[in-house]
Every structure is written in structure tokens, then in C-alpha cells.
Structure 1
Amino acid sequence: MDDEQEELVRTRGLRTMRYADWYAALDPWLVWSDPGYWLSAIGHDRVALREAEADLVVVDSRLSMTVAAGMEGRRATAVVQDMDFPGYVYPGRARREELWDDVGVALTTALREHGLTWAHDDPREVVVDAGVVVPGTPESDDVPEPFRHHVTFVGPLTGFSGAGSAAQAPAPDALLFYKTLSSRSDLAAFRAAFADLLPRVHVATGSRAEARALAAAPELQGAHVAESWDVTGTRGPLPAAAVVHGGHGTLLHMAQAGVPCLVVPDLSPERYANAHKAARLGSMRAVLDGIDVSRLTWQAQTSSAGAADVVAVRRSLDALLADPSVRERAHALAAEYAQYTPRRAWSRVRDVARVPSAASRPSDPLPTGAVR
């Protein structure tokens, strides 16, 4: 979490703790193929659990924390999306991502150091070793069999967090471009395609530095640029539509808020998959023109630039705005999703929690190198 989020948590009387800066900065998907990192990660996570005196662990796809919870005998619930389940394969792929192959070897090696035998080929089996909830719906997440009919869907929850305290509300007829434009985009082509709509264009970059760069770009003069905009409807009217990059939380936030969306993914496999699923919601359309599936790469995850041609984006946006059924469905979807609340989700998280069994060795000593 960032400083503002941490302060919000603290103001509600909750204690927070952080990993050391050097440790938090490590990218798990770059180093999880290293057994030494796994041993260090599991050790540090076990120390964190002891220092927090946790009796319930709520974790995302950080596999080392789930393993640590089992070793410490703590109940755990993983809050994950479909791609984190064993057997999940992205659309257009013939098999699971290759990164999981190296992770599997490293995990097996690390657990062997603890005297544990890991018999599964897919390291994502660690996820379902804990209790599991999905922060989505059956329409938003393609949870593989045999888990789909047993998993607990708690619905979209990101909208309840709102935007940052400094975020402004967009104008009533705003067209929100959320992380689909960056300083690396072809801004001249964007201006040519959207010149007549620039007064309505509200760009959210998610980055202060990017916001400054785009605000200074001559091609975007007349548009509104900010790090974030409040689209929860709590401070003003909702935008007419949003053009988004296809992040899981972003799509569900917009659905929860009742905002029609055009999904323009970058070359991230996850966002490409989410764009495919967006059409099921009825209030969203995807622009996949020109995307070569063979070029999908995890290196695009932070690109903040859609891969589709900007002319195709404009054409699709015009069609979205002209279709009254899209706005009707957006309103209906927001009403449907009103049933999903933090209180209900928290109840489910507690109900499904269990001690991960594959690494249940509470008496196991901390490995060498785990420091306080």
C-alpha cells in the first residue's frame, strides 16, 4: 500500500507493518525462479506472522506467505483472480505461462529444504491449499474446473476504496481515459482522432510524473489531465464512458460504479484476457483490432498504453456512446453489484479460512537467514 492508504488504515485504529525497502522492491516474478529467494521469502513471512501475532492471514498470490502460514499453523484465505488457479491458461495460449515452470522447480527445491515433499506440477496449487475467495463474479473470472463450483465469489470491492483525497470529480459528459494514454503514446494520432472531443477528455495516468508530462504535451491542450479522477459517484456525476486498460480491479470498479467502458488492453496477457470477458457484462466493449496474440508479454504490464489503433478506438467509442442499451446495462449492473459489500466479503473470508495443509509444520524452525 502507498503512504496515503497506510495512513487511512491507521486512522481506523489498525496497526500496520512493512517489509524492509530492499525486500519489498524485489519483483517476485523475476526472482521466484530462484530457490534461495523462496527460502528467504518464506522465512521473512514467517517472522512477519509472528511479529503480527496473526491468527488469520489474508493474502493475495504471494505464495511464500501461504506456505509460511501453513508452517506457522495460521488459518489463511487467498484473495485471488482466475489466473491464480491451477490449470488456468490465457486466451490464445496453448499452455500455462512458462514462468510457472521455473517457479515450480524453485518451490519444490525450497520446500525440500524444509523436509517437505511437493507433489504438484503446478505451483498455483499453493493458492488453493488455503481458503480461497475471488473478488469478482462468475462473469468476470474464468475459474477453472474443478474449482469453479466450489469457489466463493465476493464481488467487486475496489469501488469502496474510492479515489485519493485530492482526486476531482469529472464533468457530467466526461470521457475518462484511464491508463490508456502515456508519454510514450502517439499523441499526435490521438489528437487527430479525438480533436472534437478534447474538452470532454479526462486522462487519468495513475502517476504524478506522467500527469505532469501529459499536461504539458501540446497535443493534449484542451483536455483535462490528472493523476486520478473520482469515478465512484460520491463527489459528483459519473463520466459518460471510460476507456480503460483492462486491469481486473479497474473493470470491476467501473461496473460497480455504473460506468460504460471501452476496454483497450496493452500486450499484457492478463489484460487481454480481461478484455475478452468484459463483453459478458453488457456495459462494456473491447477493442482488440491489431493485437497479435504471439506478442503478448508480461513486460507490457506497466506500459499504460493501449495496443489497438487509435482510429479503431474512436470508432468503437462512438458506437458505445450511441447505444442506449449500454448505459441501461451499466445502471442495471451497478444495482446488481450493490449486494457485494466489504462486510459480506469479510464474513466469507473468515468462513473459508483454513490452515494450509501442505506445509503444516508449526514446530519447524525458522530457516537460516530469516532476520528481524
Structure 2
Amino acid sequence: MSTPAPDRAEPDAALLLDSLPVPLLEVGAGNVVLAVNMAAEEFFGMSRQQIKAGGMAEIAPPDHPIYLLLTHLRQRGGSVTEHDLLFSSPRFHHEGVSVQGAEVLDHPGHLLLTFHLPSTARVLDQQQVYRSAARSVSGMAAMLAHEVRNPLSGIKGAAQLLEQAVSDADRDLATLICDEVDRIDALVERMGMFGEARMDYRALNIHRLLEHVKLLAGNGFAKGLRIIECYDPSLPHVWGDRDRLVQVLLNLVKNAAEALQEAGKEGDITLMTSYRPGIRVTAPGTTQWRHLPLVVTIRDTGPGISETVRPHLFEPFVSTKVNGSGLGLALVGKVMDDHGGVMEVESRPGRTEISLFLPLAEERGGLP
């Protein structure tokens, strides 16, 4: 006769909550926080002791919509979901959060709240906009190179001849024509960077690229600004074109530096790397999935990007600068599209982050 297997010990409830990857709070009467899991600690940038001590007031101000959700649950029970909420404090900032609430069975007055960040799908939808913008600029670059640049040389040549033949009073006008032709030619040359060029893909140490960019910035446009490095030293190599990636990173750091300088305040630029599994996209024109776990983030403490500009940030000719051409970030979008990567932008007053999600060298199959 076989001996029955001993009963397995029931797992501890707190251990189960800490195993969940979703931030979770248990809220009691008076909006006292009774339980906090590890994901919520990370989400709100506080220990569970701090959150419990401060209650929901540590999470959201008194006029926050989450309190309407709690009131609804206490009055009607069941479960309810509120979308597109903002949670912000000096410790954390999360936009577009969905909060799901439900009553705890057999515990009257106890409510469970889970917090869900915007899905990866939203990031990928945004990326489709960036890709469309990049393609439109590529087509425009080819057209300008052929239809505009050739006549420009003839116009400039004629203006130079006129400059020698006209009177002193009219010579300034001929010089003005030459100067404007040079300006247009420089713009067309910048547009030429969007054309299809041969890419030199290889395995790259992303930290070497960032150190190179920091050196260039610190001795040039970002001189006098503090540039902080916060790297994950265990990251594997990225698969990309060195010169194009340096160009992208320089553009982003330059924008961050200019945002601080135009605001006329001291601030920091932080270069960060991390490994975030979970984002996979299909390579354009194929059915292959590409894993993009390597993340490079450029953060600045400037005034932030306005909500009206943010959705169009990587479109050509969109700029927040007085004399900006609006091509720098459009070029970033084009290069990221060439690498099969995606971008994510988060911004609020005092903090802007642009994150680049890039493929690993060991998963380079399917890249051009």
C-alpha cells in the first residue's frame, strides 16, 4: 500500500503578491493602504513602509480621479477600470495608466487596485508614424537633389556674373542672391542624409559609442553642462551602423543641451542603458520577429516638450526652436527605422526622456 504524499504547504499570500509583475495595492477604509507588492514599490519609487504610512495621499492628490473609482467600488461593489490616468510626483511619473479596481471577497471595505502602463502596442503605433515620416523625407530628399539642386548652381553662377557687372548699389542684391542660394543648397544637402545609403552593420559596444558622444558634446555644444552616465555594464553588443548611431545620439544629446540652455537654467543630461525584454516587432516586409531588448535613454531636466508638439516630434520640419530646421529628429526617426528599432518619448516639465529600443548583435538575423 503506497504512502500518501504529504500535503504541500500553502504559499504565503505576501509571497504570491510579490510574485506578480503588476503593481498592486490593497486599500482599506479611510484610504489606508494595507498591502503593497514589490512591483508597486518600484512603480511608485517608495518602499511599502512609506506607502503604508502615507496612505493613498502618497500616491495621488485629493482631486485625483482614482478617488472617484474608490468611491464607486465602495458604493456599488464589483470591479471597474479607469483609463488614461496620470500619476506624478518628485519620485515617479507615469502617463496613460489604466487602473483596475475590485472589492476583496469576504473582506468588506477592502479594495484591490492594479496599475497598468500603456501597452507596447501604443509604442509600436507611434513608431509607424515615425516610419511614415522617415519614408516621406527620403522621397523628398531624392526629389530635391534632382529638381532643385541642379538649377541652384545655374542661379548662383548667373548671380556671380551679375555681381561683377552691376553698379555698387545693385551689387548687394546679387550678393544676397548668392547667400540665399548657399542657404538653400545647405538645406538640400542636409535633406540628402535621408537618402538610401549603404549601411555598415556590425556588433557594437553601445557604451563606447555613448562615451564618444559624451566626449564630443562635453567639448562642444554641451560644454559646461553636467552629463551623467548610468549604464548597465552587463549589456551585450548592439547590431548597428556605428556612424549612424553616433549621429542619432549626438542629435538627441544636442537637443537636450539646447533645451537646458534656452531655458536659462542649470540642469543635467543623463545617458542611460538598460535591458528590457518584452518588445518584439516584425521586420518590415517579412514575417520574422525582431527582439529589441537593449534600451538607450537620453534624459534631460529641461522644460519638457509641449503636448501639442510631442505627437509630431519626429516629423520633418517640426521644431520648437526659433531657427530650427526640424530635420534633426526626423533623421533620428529615419536611422532608427533603418535599424529596425523603435522609439519612445516621455516628457513633462523638469524631465524629458527619449528611449531607443535596439536589436542585439546575437539576434541580427533578418536585418538588412
Task: Please give the range of the TM-score, normalised by the shorter of the 2 chains.
Answer: under 0.3
**Higher relative contact order by CA 8 Å / sep ≥ 6: 1 or 2?**
1
Structure whose CA Rg is larger: 2
Structure with more of its chain in strand, by fraction:
2
